[in-house]
Each structure stands twice: as structure tokens, then as C-alpha cells.
Structure 1
């Protein structure tokens, strides 16, 4: 893969690479994490991610922040938003998820680190199917109250677990990959 991405801990000096500010909050967001994009190991772009403050002024952040990338785009989950950025142009789109983000999974292989045309985002309570150019295709019904993890996709069925009674109250669930509707457990 030509492009790689990683979260940055240290600031990069202005002028070294182009910095794109991903702030869909009309200037009201607060700087959070940075993602460094490299082209065959050479830094080419930094994505400065912002998070929002809620009505009471508390920052909407999550312990989880993750991404998938390919040679054209990167999909990043941070705070309570999904961001999709084109690597070459730096153009981005953001989607509010109205829930803290948890994990991002490639489709059809949830263990892949490469961004595909379709991917899944799990928040603390829901699962979303996303198309790279069309955006969110569906949102599941509530799958948990404090965490959702996915374990497999087989025969167009998503298998996962949701935490209903933290800590450790994990319950299995199955969803249709096509619709997001629950599928009966066997």
C-alpha cells in the first residue's frame, strides 16, 4: 500500500507537510488528535482532528480513536464523529454518530487494516454500515449500552457482542449486513 497513516504524539513543524484541519464544528471544536499520512514512508499530510463540546461545555471525546486507509482515502473515528478524507486533496466529509466511537472494521474482512468501499463503525451502542462515497447506509438498533465489538462477517451476517451490564455484561448479537436488522440467534 502506497500510503500509511499513524496517530502522532508530537507536533510537526509548520512547513514540513500540509496540515488539514478536520473541524466540522463551525470553528467551535477543540484540537484533539493528529494523523500523519506518509507516501512510501515520506510524510506528506497531517490531519488535525477536532472534537466538539456538548451543551454544558464538556468535550465529547472517547478513549477510542481509530482509522482505516487505502491509496486514496482514510476513514477516521474520533469523539462522536466519522471523518472520511481524500489523501491527495485533503478534502473531507464528517458524519455525526450521536454516540461515542468505539471501533472501525473493514468489510468483508473485519481483521483487515485496509479501507474498502464498505466498512463498519461500532460505537458504544450501535453499528453503522458506511459506503466510502455515499456515507452512512444504515444504523442498527441499540446493541449495547457501553461497548460494541464485532467478531466476524459470515454469509452477510455480522456477529458481535454488546455490553449491557458493565463491566462484563456482554451479550452476543447478529445483524444483517444488508439492512442492519437483527438476525435470530441459532
Structure 2
């Protein structure tokens, strides 16, 4: 006999990365949970376990149009809440820095590169060698991306402008 569970879309109030089990923050493999809560009851809708081989110095989570977008440690994931499945799961050689969502696109900054994905997790472009210890997104417009990369740590930041459609330096 098969059981079918109907999953109803729920209004989301909060998305947080939490250490639900108080795991040692200095362990070799870090692990926390992305907890997504209901806007009316504040009860958890779903807890997603996130792990990384790197210390999660930078971590970020957001829900946009029923899609959970998560950056943690050296990983980045897109999770479809209605289908309860992973759309994409990326692992970086370095660390995840941050992401920004703009007009149906996701821009991911890592320690050295900038990656552009759509909501299905399909990569549009990737620009490498923008820094060696951090890339920070400053501004995204219809035509360009303004960012900076730390090329000579500590403090040796250099600003760049990239074409939004191709990721090429201007």
C-alpha cells in the first residue's frame, strides 16, 4: 500500500540557519539546519540539514517564490519547497561568501569567483580570478555588476565591473 502526502504551500515568515543540536562549532565537519517557519503559526515547515567541509564563516539563506536558496561553508544549494527536492547543489574549492537575487537570477560570490544561476540551478556564466580571499557584490543593474575582490590580503581590494549578461570584465 502506498501513502500519498499532500504538501500544501504555506506562507513563510522566517528562514534561519540554526545549530539545532548544539554541535561543536570547531568540529572538522560543520553541520547546522535551515529552519523555515510558517508565517501564521511560527511552526517549522521544514528543516534542511546543511553540512560543509569548511568552517561556515559566511552563511546565508532566503526563500524566494517557494525556492530555498542556501549558502554555507563551501556549499551552495537551491531547494524546491513544493517538490521537496534539491534543484542544485554546488561545492566550491574555496568558501561561499554571499548571494544576491535579482530579476530571477542568483549571483553567488565565493572567495575568488562570481557565478550566475537561474532559479532552476542552471549556470549562465562563471567568472574566476576576481580575488583570492573574498569577492563582494556591491551593485547589480540591468547591464552590469559592480563588485570588489580582495587580491592582496589583508586589505588589498580591487573594484571591478562585469557585464551582467556574460560575466566578462568591462
Aligning the two structures, in what range does the TM-score lie when normalised by the shorter sequence?
Answer: 0.7 to 0.9
Name 1:33's counterpart in structure 2.
32
Name 2:4's counterpart in structure 1.
none
Q: CA contact under 8 A between 2:30 and 2:54: conserved in structure 1?
A: no
Name 2:50's counterpart in structure 1.
49
After the TM superposition, which segments of 4 or more aligned residues of structure 1 sit over 4 Å from their partners? none
Q: Report the structure, 1 or 2, having the larger strand content.
A: 2
Query: Following superposition of structure 1 onto structure 2, how do residues 66-145 of structure 1 map, counting pairs within 5 Å?
Result: 66-92=60-86, 93-108=88-103, 117-145=104-132
Against the structure 1 CA distance between its residues 39 and 88, is the aligned structure 2 distance closer, same or farther, given a 3 Å change threshold? farther
Name 1:2's counterpart in structure 2.
11
Name 1:114's counterpart in structure 2.
none
Q: CA contact under 8 A between 1:6 and 1:37: conserved in structure 2?
A: yes
TM normalised by structure 2 equals 0.80
Q: CA contact under 8 A between 1:141 and 1:181: conserved in structure 2?
A: no
User: What number of residue pairs does the alignment pair up?
Assistant: 152
CA RMSD of aligned residues (A): 2.1
Of 158-167 and 87-96, the range deviating more from structure 2? 87-96
Q: CA contact under 8 A between 1:2 and 1:71: conserved in structure 2?
A: no
Q: CA contact under 8 A between 2:30 and 2:55: conserved in structure 1?
A: no
SS at match of 1:143: coil
Name 1:20's counterpart in structure 2.
none
CA distance in 2, matches of 1:94, 1:154: 26
- Following superposition, the deviation at residue 31 of structure 1 comes to 5.4
- Following superposition, the deviation at residue 157 of structure 1 comes to 0.5
Q: CA contact under 8 A between 1:124 and 1:147: conserved in structure 2?
A: yes
CA distance in 2, matches of 1:136, 1:61: 25
| Structure 1, gaps ≥5 residues long | 13-28, 52-58, 109-116
Residues 1:172 and 2:159 aligned together = yes
**Alignment counterpart, residue 146 of structure 1, candidates 126, 129, 133:** 133
Name 2:6's counterpart in structure 1.
none
| Structure 2, gaps ≥5 residues long | 1-9, 23-27
